[in-house]
Amino acid sequence: MITLEHITTSFGHRLILDDISLVFPERSITAITGKSGAGKTTLLGIISGLQNPDRGKVYYLGKNILRWGDIRRSIYRNRVIGFVFQFFNLLPDMTSYQNIVYPARISIFRSGNDIDTSARELIRELGIEEISDNYPTTLSGGERQRVAIARAIINHPKIILADEPTGNLDDHSAKGIISLFKKLRDEQGMTIIAVTHDPRIVEIADAQYHLQNAKLVALKTPRGLKAAVKKKESAKKMTPVKKKTVSGKKIKGKR
Amino acid sequence: MMNKWSCVLRLSQKDASDLMKNFIWNITSTIKLSLEDVSKNILKSLISSFGILFLIAFLILYMSMRDSIKTYVDKNIFGTLAIDEIKVTMKTKKNFDVFAQNRSTGGIPPRVVRAIKSMPEVKKTYTLVQMDHKSVIKGELLGQKRKIPMPLGTIENDFFRDRDPKWRNLRMTDPIPLVAPRFGIDMINNYLAMNGYPTMPAEGLRGFPLELMVQSTPADFDPKKDYTYNAIIHTVTDDLPFAGVIVPSQFIRAFIAEHGADAPPGERPGVKYLTMYVKVKDIKKLPETTEKIKKMNVQVESQQDVAAKTNKALTIIDGSSWVIIGMFLILTVISIFNSYLTIVYNRSQKFSLRRVLGVPKYQIILGFVLEAAFVGALYGLAGYFAGNALLDSAAEKIGTWVPSLSGVIVKSEGKGVFAMVVILSASISSLSALIPATFAANMNLFKAMRK
């Protein structure tokens, strides 16, 4: 689904990501852990096309998104990616419903009735009917995160980028959100990439990577990853070169 | 293209067919979102752009005043002089200015008139001569007889060559053709209007019968002798600096020859040379001819002379006005820039979120710029009316502030300027907001999102 190749980025003289290569398979949950400031959020920014790395490539369905212009990247974010944040980032001057439909309203591929139907369905599925007319300031953390998730999936994205999704939730709410992620992966086939410190998310994740000293260490590798990489390599028909992941395992890549 | 975009668009056939419908809905939705944004922040934006009001108001004031002054100068000074003409009058008091009233009392000495006429550079002269004899115009208007004392003057009839198609008829005939001053017609029209009659155009007065009474002896001479002649209005002029009627020169010569001896030689009224219009053979020699005549101790004005003074005056007006406008502009731009920068940081979460959720940079910039343009246009509108209100006030007081401009009729610049100032104001506002808008579109989104 998403493949990173040789991603290197730095802020000033500080190296944040050093030659990161990684594959996020379809229908999977990937947990990325690491200390604060390790570069986890930067990685999400690069995957979403909001930040450019100093070097490297980000492939979505075989296309390098870093070569795209701003409009195409915007459509990519709107159509392909859903975002979930630690602090929810709901717009305070909009009701829950308005927040949920916001990404659909700015999409040129959605229209009024279609948006309303999707939104009502989502609201029902996530059990937030009663709060749909409430403003975010009147909601609990769990309710806000449910609204944020509804907003993230209103456009039926393929990928969810979650930045500490349970970091600001109580135990009960966190469990609810984690089970929702599982449901999204299993029932809707979404790829979820979560930057997290929460062991419960790591537990349900198909893969876990740890960012340390700008390098990515694979702590749990998803099944089928090798197959996915090979498939991508043969599609590109390039000369194979040996590449090294930070986990010390060798995988085949192409340049 | 579909291939290039297909992986992000994920279009089905139905999607494609609905695309246009959705696109229109999206535009409407985007405009609605922008308007929601504008309505929530309009107060801040209005406060931030307040300086534009002053800028536009002053601009209106300046442009209208400048135009009015220029029109006044053109009409009152340039309008009476041809490009190759020099106007010669008796020297007036020191610091006489082209904008001031003519305060000369005596005439040009005859020797100076003769000297000018004999100059080799001179092609033609027209001499405005005033007769010292007391004269009265009698006429009947609305059944009432009126007598108005009015001096008699004369000038070569071809002076009117370019001003009156029937100039050749301005010669000694019975009745005597008169060229009346414009203000005389205004007086008649005022009288007609007071009595509920429609006013008459100047052309309508051509042929209006009058009686001309001229006294051959000095005003207090006893026994006084006067002579009455039939006269008609030939034309009307405001091209001559003379508050009397112009008669053919043959009439004045004949009258003096015939009745000059009514008074003893020492007390006989004569004539005086009020103004000379001198046409030069070679326009390139106008400056040096002007200088030569100036040395004859007379007041000289040429278009070049007037233009120099006018330009000097307008340069001062322009210079000071542009300095003020420039200061307003800089302050306004800085103020809008700063305010919008603050707004950008205050709304950073919203902008960042919009970017994350798929709004392209250009839409963020466009939304911001359009908001600024809308506010700017509002201020342009307000500035236009404020400027005109100031203009009305200035129109009443300009004569008090600058006495020499008391004749200036201050007029607003009109609808053309209205559109211009609204566009200008909107442009200044949106350009000032452009850089903050670019900041907004390029903010470190994930940093902002984690606030």
Read off the pLDDT of residues B55-68 as tens digits, 9 standing for 90 and up.
888 888 888 877 77
Confidence band (pLDDT; 50, 70, 90) for B410? confident
Work out how many CB contacts closer than 8 A connect A with B: 102
Find the CB nearest A105 among B33, B350, B360: B33
8 Å CB contact between B364 and B354 = yes
The predicted model gives B86-114 an average pLDDT of: 68
CB contact at 8 A, B237 and B181: yes
Residues in B 349-388 with any Cβ partner in A closer than 8 A:
349-350, 353-362
pLDDT at A238: 43
Check residue B108 and report its DSSP letter.
B
User: For chain B, what is the radius of gyration of the CA atoms?
Assistant: 35
Alpha-carbon separation of residue A128 from A123, A143, B315 (angstroms): 5, 7, 72
Of the listed ranges A138-142, B89-93, B335-339, B364-368, the one predicted with least confidence: B89-93
Chain A residues within an 8 Å CB radius of B11: 109
CB contact under 8 A, A163 and B361: no
* Encoded tokens for B188: 């008649």
What is the pLDDT, as a whole number, of residue A222? Answer: 66
Letter for the amino acid at B443?
M
Q: pLDDT-derived band of residue A82, with 50, 70 and 90 as boundaries?
A: very high
A41 at B interface, C-beta within 8 A: yes
- Closest partner residue to A102 (CB to CB) among B11, B25, B357 is B357
Report the pLDDT averaged over residues A134-143.
90
Find chain B residues with C-beta within 8 A of A157's C-beta.
none
Whether A171 has its CB under 8 Å from any CB of chain B: the answer is: no
Q: Do B7 and A60 touch (CB under 8 A)?
A: yes
Count the Cβ atoms, other than its own, within 10 Å of residue B342: 13
pLDDT of residue A29 exceeding 90, the answer is yes
Q: What is the DSSP letter of B405?
A: G
CB B300 within 8 A of CB B292: no
Of B298, B265, B277, B256, which is closest to residue B131 (Cα–Cα)? Answer: B256
Residues on chain A touching B349 (C-beta within 8 angstroms): 89, 91
Cβ atoms within 10 A of the Cβ of B267, count? 11
- Closest listed residue to residue A51, CA positions, set A59, A60, A43, A62: A43
Burial B100-130 (b: 16+ CB within 10 A, else e): eeeebeebbeeebbeebeebeebeebbbbbb
Chain A, nearest residue to B347 by Cα: A91
B127 membership: H or E segment, kind and range: strand B122-131
Q: Does the pLDDT of residue A8 top 90, yes or no? A: yes
- B323 to chain A, any CB pair closer than 8 A? The answer is no
A249 close to B (CB below 8 A): no
Q: Is the pLDDT of residue B118 over 80?
A: yes
Residue B138 has pLDDT above 80, yes or no: yes
Phi first, then psi, for residue B23 (nearest 5°) are -60, -45
Distance CA(B113)–CA(B95), nearest Å, equals: 24
**Please, which residues 102-131 of chain A have a Cβ atom closer than 8 Å to chain B?**
102-103, 105-112
Kindly determine whether residue B357 and residue A78, on different chains, have CB atoms separated by under 8 Å: yes
CB atoms within 10 A of CB A194: 27
In this predicted structure, the answer to whether residue A254 has a pLDDT above a threshold of 60 is no
Q: What is the mean pLDDT of chain A?
A: 82
Q: Which residue has the tokens 């989104």?
A: B445
- Residue A194 has a pLDDT of 92
> And the tokens for B66?
């400048």
Residue A80 · residue A157 · CB < 8 Å: yes
Residue B160, pLDDT score: 85
Report the length, in residues, of chain A. 255
Whether B357 and A106 lie within 8 Å, measured CB to CB: yes
pTM strictly above 0.80: no
Q: How far is A248 from chain B (nearest CA, A)?
A: 30
Q: How far apart are CA A37 and CA B140, in angstroms?
A: 104
Name the average pLDDT for chain B: 79
The pLDDT of A141-164, averaged and rounded, is 90
Q: What is the chain A residue with the closest CA to B12?
A: A109
What average pLDDT score do residues A31-60 get?
89
Mean per-residue pLDDT for B112-134?
A: 90
Please compute Rg for chain A using Cα positions.
18
Q: What is the pLDDT of residue B49?
A: 78
Q: Does B451 touch chain A (CB under 8 A)?
A: yes
Q: Which member of A50, A63, A151 has the closest CB to residue B446?
A: A50
Closest by Cβ to B10, choosing from A79, A110, A112: A79
Alpha carbon B158 to its chain's center: 30
Residue A159 has pLDDT above 90, yes or no: yes
Q: How far is CA B357 from CA A99, B297, B433, in A?
A: 11, 85, 23
Q: Is the pLDDT of residue A59 over 90?
A: yes
State the pLDDT at residue B207: 86
Smallest CA–CA distance, residue A92 to chain B, in Å, is: 10
Please tell me the distance in Å from B403's CA to the nearest CA on chain A: 60
Higher pLDDT, B142 or A40: A40
Mean pLDDT of B144-153: 87
Which of A32-36, A94-98, B199-203, B294-298 is predicted least confidently? B199-203
Whether B74 and chain A come into contact, CB under 8 Å, resolves to no
Band (pLDDT 50/70/90 cuts) for residue A246 is: very low
Smallest CA-to-CA distance from B102 within B241, B282, B258 is with B241
User: Å from B359 to nearest chain A CA?
Assistant: 6
Give the range among A30-44, B113-127, B182-196, B396-410 with minimum mean pLDDT.
Answer: B396-410
For residue A11, what pLDDT band results from cuts at 50, 70 and 90?
confident
Residue B265 has a CB neighbour count (10 Å cut-off) of 7
In chain B, the residue whose alpha carbon lies closest to the alpha carbon of A69 is B360
Under the banding of pLDDT at 50, 70 and 90, the label for residue B4 is: low
Average of per-residue pLDDT across A235-240: 45
pLDDT of B75 higher than 50: yes
Name the B residues in 324-353 with CB < 8 Å from any A CB. 349-350, 353
Confidence of residue A243 (pLDDT cuts 50, 70, 90): very low
Quickly state the pLDDT bin for B98 (edges 50, 70, 90). very low
pLDDT digit string (tens) for B22-33? 666 667 766 776
Q: Do B361 and A70 touch (CB under 8 A)?
A: yes
Q: How far is A58 from chain B (nearest CA, A)?
A: 14
Question: In chain B, whose CA is at the least distance from the CA of A156?
Answer: B10
CA B387 – CA B378 distance, rounded (Å): 14
List chain B residues with CB under 8 Å of A70. Answer: 360-362
Q: Which two tokens stand for residue A66?
A: 């870093």
Q: Is the ipTM of this complex over 0.85?
A: no
Residues above pLDDT 70, as percent of chain B: 81
User: Distance between CA atoms of B142 and B144, rounded to whole angstroms?
Assistant: 6
pLDDT for res B141: 78
Residues 6+ apart with CB under 8 A from A49: A58, A65, A66, A68, A73, A76, A77
Distance from CA of A254 to the nearest CA of B (A): 22
Chain B residues in contact with A44 (beta carbon < 8 A): 446
Task: List Cα–Cα distances, B411 to B44, B61, B63, B64, B329, in angstroms.
Answer: 35, 10, 10, 6, 24
- Minimum mean pLDDT among B215-224, B247-256, B418-427: which range? B215-224
Per-residue pLDDT reduced to its tens digit, A176-227: 889 988 989 998 889 999 999 888 999 899 999 999 888 888 887 766 555 5
pLDDT at B157 over 80: yes
Please determine, for residue B104, whether its predicted confidence score (pLDDT) is greater than 60. no
Interface contact A89-B15, CB threshold 8 A? no
